[in-house]
Each structure stands twice: as structure tokens, then as C-alpha cells.
Chains A and B, each alone.
Chain A
Amino acid sequence: MLSFDVLIVASVAYVIVLFAVAFLAERASDRGGAKWMRSPIIYTLSLSVYCTAWTFYGAVGFAARSGLEFVTIYLGPTGVLIGWWLILRRLVRIGRAERITSIADLISSRFGKSALLGGIVTVLAVVGTTPYIALQLQSVTLSLSVFAAADPTAVIRTSPNSTALWVAVGLAVFTIIFGTRNLDSSERHSGVVMAIAVEAVVKLLALLAVGAFVVWGLAGGVGNMLAMIDTSPIAEWSVPNSRWIGLTFLSAAAFLCLPRMFHVLVVENSDESHLLTASWAFPLYLLLMSLFVVPIAVVGLNMLPEGANPDLFVLTLPITQGQNGLAVLAFLGGFSSATSMVIVAAIALSTMVSNHLVAPVWLRSTGEGATVSGDLRNVVLMSRRVTIAVILGLGYLYYRLSGGGAALAAMGLISFAGVAQVLPAMLGGIYWRGATRIGAAAGFVVGFTLWAYTMLLPSVGVGTILSASVLEQGLMGWHWLRPRALFGIDGLDPVIHAVFWSLLFNTGAFVAGSILSTPSPLERMQASQFITALDQGGISRSWKHGVAEAEDLLLMAQRILGATEAQRLFRAHAVEQGKSGYLPTPTPTFLEGLERALSGSVGSATAHAMIGQMVGGASVSVEDLMAVADETAQIMEYSNRLEAKSEELTNTADQLRDANLKLVQLSHQKDAFLSQISHELRTPMTSIRSFSEILQDNALSPSDRVKYATIISGETQRLTRLLDDLLDLSVLENGQVTLDIETGTLAQVLDRAMTAADFGGALEIKRPRNADTILLTTDLERLGQVMINLISNTRKYCVNKRPVLKIRARLSGPDVELDFIDNGEGVPSTHRQMIFEKFARISDEAKAGSAGLGLAICREIMTNLGGSIEYLPGQGGAAFRLRLPQNP
């Protein structure tokens, strides 16, 4: 019979060995030696924290209850590692490039360094992990109690509660000593990793030893073993259903999302190529771990009394067979499984809590920023140590409250399903550029809520949080809200039910939220950096060349990285910039490097915020720049719109002014025309009326009568002429004139015009010599009318005593130009603009003998002929130039 004391001594000795291993490894790592500690094999062994006490002891129990189904828990991780190229490679690459410190940091960093998401994932992880830690404490207590039961003398000295407490305290001490020695997570925890590797070997050896003993010692060889399986209660394996696929998927998801797994997989990874080895070595490890599970279960069921706890077959089989050494080894294997899980989980959680809960709150509460406040390095380390203690305390508390009963055993899968809620956002974050913070947060909240409602709350026992009526009738009596049959779908396995609904709605909310929301610029930048992580070294999130003093930055960095490390970093950057001393110019490159170094210690969001505070207003983050650019673009667009509008208004105003001017002119013209025409009409009418009144007087001599009648007749003719001219002009102006096109020489037209305009008087007309040779095809009659007008005007207005009118003609391209130049005084330049207007006369009226419509008619005729008439200045006298096409 094994003495309980021997077991205690062995355990303590084992713990001392672990401490020594961790200590030696740390020392070797500090000295820079021991390259083998960074070997792929150590990395692979460290992954074994996946195999907790739940799998060490529980797998056999699982197999005893449901046969081969237990392998799903191992097949999931096997798939993840064999498919390392798809997900793990990307995660590790991103983790290294971005100095990711935890899974919360990954999510926070990907979605725009969001403090909120980091906090959510952290809380989720703590809630999901605490029961799991309790489970480990329970397994240690339970296994101890097995030995205690075997040794009646021990019962007095130990109780399960105190055992659990001592284990928790011991683990806290170990984790604090080796897990929080240094801050920069990129330095990694050599001591812890080495201790875990040793434990990995111990638990594997323990299981293999028990298995070998069972197969060859108890069953009598492989053949007998197989025969024994075929006659055992689990000889029949009912064909797998949704649970087979669902559990495999769940274990794969948990393998990626469990904080402790992410820590050993990504954060502690020192070389990407280690994945190559782990891709086959870890599946092999898992295979060996599960190889003897079924045999142990079968033999246990066969040889141990009815009602024996199958979860403890690994221990009870050797004990009942008197194999004390083997039993101790098995105990140490289970102990190793429990402790390594707790240690790594505590480290991972403490990193998350201090970086994503404590640091943001602390930074906000101090307000002043990293410069004036105390030693942040101590704050962070302190918060981690406290967190480790608190987490283990919570685990212990949970263990006490749950009573250490069977409810705890179900905790493994519940915990898996809880952390698996991070999966959609994680995979979306590294593969889908469009994933946004809002989407991730929505997914978390929805998934986490459903998980709690369908899985966590029902598990803690009916009547504690969820009443029996809720479980039976659904929330508020709504039948379709029953926690174990959402939407009325009964008959599903509870685990599959919860995993399916929570992940389905989680993914749905994540996708919908991402599609409906717009990512911030920083988010977009981080997204492209994450998604292109495999293609390039990384794009910079530029810090503008700020005025932050390098000395201030050094002060801050020393607080976080430690003096030596900070000075080394600054020195390296200074040397790179070609400077001596420890103070490099705070270039964007340097600031970025510093931020990365800091984020290794305090997480990316906090590091970003700290540098932001330090560099302050002088530095502009990309987000700020983008915001400014956005605003500027908006202002410019607005201003452009205003300008365009104003231009349009100006144009409209100009057009209106022009239109108004034209209207005013037209109105003036109309008034002038009316007054002119009434004036022109009244003058002859007045004389006609006066002379006709005189004629009514009978006392007139016949000669007088004839004289007055002649005057009346003359005035009437003048009136008629005026009215003819007016009619003519009206027709011409309205374009209603019908042209009578014919062909003739210029000489013919001139002849006719000179004859018609010859009222006697001494006007000498000098005809052009080429008049005979110029052929014209136009309305010759109308052209003649223009010439008559010009000739008679010369007769009327030329003041020279020997008036001469010289006519010149020449061809100019398709046009004919005719100049009529007299030797008078010409038209004063001030009047040249108006001589072509109606009723325009520049000399006194009496002399005119016409209403001043002549030139106006000329202009209209020429326009109708497709030509023009204009005053030709600088010819000595009045000069007019007619221009008209030779052929129409």
C-alpha cells in the first residue's frame, strides 16, 4: 500500500525540479546560451498545454461513456496543425510582425487598436477560463483523494479544500516568479516554456506507461486487448452523427482561440519554421496521448468494481494492481497536465487583463500621460502579478462554489465553446479586409450572450441563475426561447445545439455589422497590414516627425522596457541615424520602432496611445491626417460649389443687366421713333391744314390760290414719300422683302441710279473705270436704290462749291466693294454711329427734305442683299463703303 506521505514527498520533489528547470532555463536564456531551448521540439512540446487534466483523466472517462468519440478532442487540433499553412502560418506571421501579446491584442490591433474589443475579449477569456482552472484544481484534489482513500491514515491530515488552496497558491507563486520576470513578451518566458516542455514529456510518459501496463501487463497483448474491446460495454460504436463533426470543429476552434493556446502557438513562437516540425510532431504527440485511452477505459470497466469513477481509471488501475511507482507517475502526469494549463492560462490572462483592462483605465485616469506619471513598468508588472493571483483565486472560488461536483466535468466543452466565440472575428480579421470593429463587437456580444444562455447558465445548475421554469418553458414563458431548444428545435445534443446557434448568430452579426458599418482609417490600415502580412514586411502607420523630445521618450521607454533594453533600443536607432549617444532624432521610423517595442510589453492599443500622448499635438497620426484630409476635401468641395454658384449668379446678373439695357434702349428707341414719326407727320400736316384754311377764304387771288394749292400738293407728296419710306423700311426690317435677283454689270446699275438721282445741280460724278467689267448677280433694283440714296445725299449735304462724288469699285474675294467718296466736310466722328439710324439727321431739318430714313433703308437693303454699308473714315469727305457678294 502506497503511503500518502510518499506521494506528497514525490509531488513536492517534482515541483522543486520544475522550479529548478525553470530557473536554470531563465539563467541560460539570460546568458544568451542554450540555443536548443528555442528548438522546434521544445515548441511542439509547449503546445501540449492543450492536454489538460481534463484530457489526461477525462479522456478515459469520455471513452468509457461514449467510446471513440473522445478522439474528436484530439482530431480538431490535429487538423489545425496539419493545415498549418492555412491559418497558423498567417497568425504567427502577424503575431511577429505586430508584436501581438495575446488573442485580445490580436483582435484589438486588427480592428483599429480598439480598446473596447480588447476589453471584451479579455472579459470573455476570463469568464471562459476561470471554470477551467477550477477544473484543474478539482482534478488535482480528486486524484489526491484517491491516494488518500487508499491510505486511511492520510484522511485526517488533508481535506480537498485545503489541497485545492495549496495547489492554487503554489501555482500562483510559480507563475508570478517565472511568468512576470520580464515585460517584453517578445523576450518570451524561457523558464516557463522549459518547465512546460518537461511536464509535457512527463504526462506523455505517464499515459504511455499506464497504457503499456494495461495492454501488455493486464490484457496480455494487442490481440487480447482487441478481443477484450470487442466484448466490453463500449464494443459497439454507434455511428457518429452531428456530434462527431461538431466536437471536432469545436476542438479545432478552441485550439486556435484558447488564450493559453494562442500564447504558446503565436506569442511564444520564436521562429516560424518551428511550425514545420510541429505540423507533424504535435499530431504525433496527440496520437500517442490517445493511443491507450480506449484500452485503459475497457480494462478499467472490466476490472474495477461497478460505479468506479471512469475519470480516474488512469490512477485507480495501477493502485488496485499494486503498481505504486506507476501510480505516482500517473499522478504526476495528471498533476503536470493541470499545472501547465493553469500556468500558461494565468500568464496569458494576466497579460490580457493588464494590457486591455488595467492599462487603458490607468492611462485614462492619470490623464497626464506617460511622461509625468510614475513608473509604468512597475504598474504593469504589479497588475500582472495581482491578476495572476486574482485569476487563481477566482478559480479556487469557483471550485468551492461549484462544490467540486460533476458539473465541473462538463466545464471543458463549455469553456471551449465560450472561447470559440472569438473565432469568427479572428478568422475574419486575418482574411477579410471588410471586417470592422462594429461587426466584431456585435458578433462577440451576440455569440457570447447566446453561449451564456444556452450553455453556461444551464450548466451551473438548475435553480441557481436560470430557474427550472425558464429551462422548461423558455424565457418569459416563450416556448421558442428554451435554452436547450432554441426556436423549438428539440432533440439536438445540448453542446452541438449551443455551439451551432451561438456561432451561427455570432458569425451572422459579425458579417452584417461589418457590411453595415464603415471602418475608420486606422482600421483600414490595420486590416490591410493583417491581410497582406504574408506578402510584405509591413506598411508603416506613420508617426509624423514630431517635436517629442527624444529624452522624454527615453524616460518613458525605460519605465516600460527597463533601462538597459530601452537604452539599447535608442542607441541602435541613433547609430542607424548616424548619431552618437543615446538620443536619436524622433523620426517616424524611430517612433514606429519604439511603438512596436512598447506594444510587446503593454499591447498595441496602449503603446499607440502612449506614443500618441508623448508626441502629442505635434505629431499627427494617420487617422488625424485622414480626418483632416477628409475635412479639407469637404471644405474645398463646399467652396467649389459656392464659387460655381457665385459665378452662375454673376453670369445671370450680367445677362439680366444686358437684357435690361436692351429693354431700356428699345424703349428709348420706340419713344424716339414715335416722337420722330409724329413730328415728321405733323409738319406737313400743319402746313396742309393752314393752306387749306387759307384756300377757304374766297378773297384770294387766283395766283395765290394756285400758289397755295401747289404748296399743299408738295407737302402731300412729301407725306406720301415719308409713308412710302416707312413702309419700305418696315418691310425690309421684318425680312419680308422679296428679292428680284438678276445679273448685270455694275455700269448698268450706276447708269440707272445716276439718271434717277439727277435732279439737276452741279454734282460731278466720277465713275469707276472697271464698272463695265464687274458682273453682279443680286437684286439690281434694290442696289440701285442704295446708290440713288447715296448720290442724292451727296447732292443734299455736300457743302463744297464744286461737289464731286468719286465712285470706286473693286473685287475683294467673293465680294464687291463700292466706295462713294465726296469732297465735302464728311460726317463728324461723333455722329458716325447714328447716321444709319432712323430719323437720324446731322444737319438742320430744313435742308433735309427727307425724314432721315435714307441711310437706315440703305443699311436694311444691304443686309438683305447679304452685304453691308459702313462709313469709311479718313477719305477727306463723307465716304461710304458698300460691300456685297458678287454672287448670292
Chain B
Amino acid sequence: MAESAQPSRKRRLQETAVALPALGAVFVGLPILWGGGDESNAVATSNAAIYLFSVWVGMIVLAFALSWAFRRPKAED
């Protein structure tokens, strides 16, 4: 990687680190909209569980990728 690209890469990583929890919050908060404003509406627990755990796994994968990216420049030094 070119030397001049390093600061920009670092900045992008940091911005990703800030964006990630926001993304997670959006996905976790999404079920609120499922009822379409009617609280008496209900969804199947199994489907909801699959959704939530998928989001969860997705976030873990993204966090893992990010931490891997954070470590990489160190390894190159």
C-alpha cells in the first residue's frame, strides 16, 4: 500500500468503527416497526429469533473483519 494512502485508510477504518454500532442499532431497533404501529400484532418467535440471531452473527462478522483490518497495518510494519 502506498504511504500516502495510510492516513486515509486509517480514517476510513475509524469511521467504520463508529458506523458499525449505529448499523447494529438500526437492525436491532427494526422489530419495533414490525407491528405496523399496532401493539397487539405479534410475530412468530421462531422467525424473530432467526432474524435477531442473523443480525447478531452479521455484526460479529463485521466486527471481526474490522478488527482484522485494524491489526493489518501493524503486521506490515
Would you call A239 and B43 a contact (CB within 8 A)?
yes
B residues with a Cβ closer than 8 A to A are 14, 17-18, 20-21, 24-25, 28-29, 31-32, 34-35, 38-46, 48-49, 52-53, 56-57, 59-64, 66-67, 70-71
Q: Decide: A236 near B60, CB < 8 A? Known: A75-B28, A280-B67.
A: no
Binary contact track A842-855/B, C-beta < 8 Å → 1, others 0: 00000000000000
Q: Decide: A241 near B32, CB < 8 A? Known: A229-B49, A235-B44.
A: yes
For A85, list chain B residues within 8 Å (CB).
Answer: 14, 17-18
For B66, list chain A residues within 8 Å (CB).
Answer: 279-280
Partner of B71, one of A71, A236, A239, A276: A276
A223-243 interface (Cβ within 8 A of B) = 226, 229-230, 232, 234-241
How far, in Å, is A85 (CB) from chain B's closest CB? Answer: 3
How far, in Å, is A271 (CB) from chain B's closest CB? Answer: 12
For B24, list chain A residues within 8 Å (CB).
Answer: 78-79, 82-83
Q: Decide: A279 near B45, CB < 8 A? Known: A83-B20, A239-B34, A291-B53.
A: no
Q: For residue A81, which residue of chain B has the nearest CB?
A: B63
Would you call B56 and A244 a contact (CB within 8 A)?
no
Would you call A226 and B42 a contact (CB within 8 A)?
no
Would you call B48 and A68 a contact (CB within 8 A)?
yes
CA distance in complex: A68, B49 (Å): 7
Given contacts A237-B44, A279-B67, A287-B57, 13 further A-B contacts (CB under 8 A): A68-B48, A79-B24, A81-B63, A85-B17, A232-B45, A236-B43, A238-B42, A239-B31, A239-B42, A244-B29, A248-B28, A280-B60, A294-B49
Q: For residue A67, which residue of chain B has the nearest CB?
A: B45
For A797, list chain B residues within 8 Å (CB).
Answer: none
Partner of A82, one of B20, B43, B44: B20
Determine whether A245 belongs to the interface, using a CB cutoff of 8 Å to chain B: yes
Would you call A239 and B67 a contact (CB within 8 A)?
no
Residue contacts A-B, CB under 8 angstroms, 29 given: A68-B52, A78-B24, A82-B62, A83-B17, A84-B17, A85-B14, A85-B17, A226-B46, A229-B46, A229-B49, A232-B45, A234-B45, A235-B45, A236-B44, A237-B43, A237-B44, A238-B39, A239-B42, A244-B31, A245-B32, A248-B28, A276-B67, A276-B71, A279-B63, A279-B67, A280-B63, A283-B60, A287-B56, A287-B60
User: Chain A: interface residue count, which band?
Assistant: 35 or more
Determine whether A277 belongs to the interface, using a CB cutoff of 8 Å to chain B: yes
Determine whether A284 belongs to the interface, using a CB cutoff of 8 Å to chain B: yes
Q: For residue B41, which residue of chain A has the nearest CB?
A: A239
Partner of B60, one of A68, A241, A276, A284: A284
Q: Decide: A237 near B42, CB < 8 A? Known: A78-B24, A287-B60.
A: yes
Determine whether A86 belongs to the interface, using a CB cutoff of 8 Å to chain B: yes
Q: For residue A89, which residue of chain B has the nearest CB?
A: B17
Would you call B45 and A236 a contact (CB within 8 A)?
yes
CA distance in complex: A83, B43 (Å): 29
For A240, list chain B residues within 8 Å (CB).
Answer: 31-32
Would you call A82 and B52 a contact (CB within 8 A)?
no
Q: Decide: A237 near B48, CB < 8 A? Known: A248-B28, A280-B64.
A: yes
A256-294 interface (Cβ within 8 A of B) = 273, 276-277, 279-280, 283-284, 287, 291, 294
Q: Decide: A230 near B49, CB < 8 A? Known: A75-B28, A276-B71, A280-B63.
A: no
CA distance in complex: A86, B31 (Å): 25
A62-80 interface (Cβ within 8 A of B) = 67-68, 71, 75, 78-79
5 interchain residue pairs of minimum CB distance: A83-B21, A239-B35, A85-B17, A280-B63, A280-B64
Would you call B53 and A236 a contact (CB within 8 A)?
no
For A239, list chain B residues within 8 Å (CB).
Answer: 31-32, 34-35, 38-39, 41-43
How far, in Å, is A196 (CB) from chain B's closest CB? Answer: 22
For B14, list chain A residues within 8 Å (CB).
Answer: 85
A17-75 interface (Cβ within 8 A of B) = 67-68, 71, 75
